[in-house]
Structure 1
């Protein structure tokens, strides 16, 4: 791991253990085995480290989600399943980063927080576009509010950082597929014979 990576990893561990406010630049340097000067070479302040912690996670989500959105070999149902599986798996893979961000995001500088919000909005827009494809193609119901569906997906997936465990009974993929079954069961367009009298 390079020096910048060591600094980020050390910050994630210390912020998770002690909290952002209680962790000093000096402690991050000692934990990473680098000087304070080395930290300031890469980051102008502690808030910037917190910003990068979240950016590292959200950028990977965006890259994967954008790839899924533009796949022409998948139906909207298949795309939505891929998006949810990727999101839950990434939350599991980057759990320390996710936990730190949700606990400490209020300490990110306002201009940097705006960048994060824009990226999260972009991620939501990708999910929304897939749901819209499903509605337009007749796979999903037309009577549901698409914005609410997308917020429900993120609420369901984001919350896994609180309870999902590496040694848990279900893998991240199994959890994600359970979410998909619940969600798609409510989203799928019913055929006339399935509708209640």
Structure 2
């Protein structure tokens, strides 16, 4: 049974944070409930008050960031004025999770294969909902003439998801660019490729281009860099 979302108590948060650290170090199957109880300074009663099982705990960790990006995408779709603004907000909120929920994402990519089938279905449903929102925005933009309509919606959408998802492999907080600057770069890349030539020339669209913004990413010292670590992932939100 999947519990409904509710208020996060201090103890529940402490159990989650402790589990994140342990799962990162030892893997999901290398950690017992006793390990979590001991490291978080609680009791088994305290653990089972908040989680039915270790499987549910892993689900909650996965659900944190997926729920965040889905909610932000739905908000952008409901409140923004046009498809370009919607897409910009969706991309920026997606990129932000790599800063807000980096430990959760690390565990997600490492341990997602161990999700109980019922929890896996719940996560997949939210991932599919997120993709559907993105695809809907792309279709709306193509139908309204803002986006190039010769581009297939599904391939365009999955390309955006793939690009942003890969951030998990190389982003470092201490690197050359902040997460906000990286998000702005992605928005520029996507809109420069997706907008029609007419829309690219509009004042509202150009506000998203780095070359036309006062807050454009400036050249920095090469003493710091976001090191790229080759790897592979087939996961997407």
- Is this a same-fold pair by TM over 0.5? yes
The answer on 1:81 being equivalent to 2:88 is yes
Bigger relative contact order, structure 1 or 2, given CA contacts below 8 A and separation 6+?
1
Unmatched runs of 5 consecutive residues or more in structure 2: 1-8, 202-237
The answer on 1:28 being equivalent to 2:30 is no
Q: Which runs of 4+ in 1 moved over 4 A?
A: none
- Give the match for residue 111 of structure 1: 118
Secondary structure at the counterpart of residue 174 of structure 2: coil
The answer on 1:129 being equivalent to 2:129 is no
1:150 to 147, 152, 157: 157
**Alignment of structure 1 residues 3-14 onto 2, 5 Å:** 3-14=11-22
Secondary structure at the counterpart of residue 108 of structure 2: helix
So what's the TM-score if we normalise by structure 2? 0.77
The answer on 1:186 being equivalent to 2:189 is no
Secondary structure at the counterpart of residue 120 of structure 1: helix
Cα distance between partner residues in 1 of 2:187 and 2:171:
16
1:104-134 CA distances to partner (integer Å, 9 max, x unpaired)? Answer: 0111100110010000000111111111111
Give the count of matched residue pairs.
191
Unmatched runs of 5 consecutive residues or more in structure 1: none
Cα distance between partner residues in 1 of 2:156 and 2:180:
21
Q: For the Cα contact (< 8 Å) 1:92–1:161, is it kept in 2?
A: no
The answer on 1:52 being equivalent to 2:65 is no
Cα distance between partner residues in 2 of 1:81 and 1:166:
22
Moved more, 44-53 or 1-10: 1-10
Secondary structure at the counterpart of residue 139 of structure 1: coil
The answer on 1:98 being equivalent to 2:109 is no
Cα distance between partner residues in 2 of 1:149 and 1:128:
9
The answer on 1:37 being equivalent to 2:45 is yes
Secondary structure at the counterpart of residue 79 of structure 2: coil
- Give the match for residue 62 of structure 1: 70
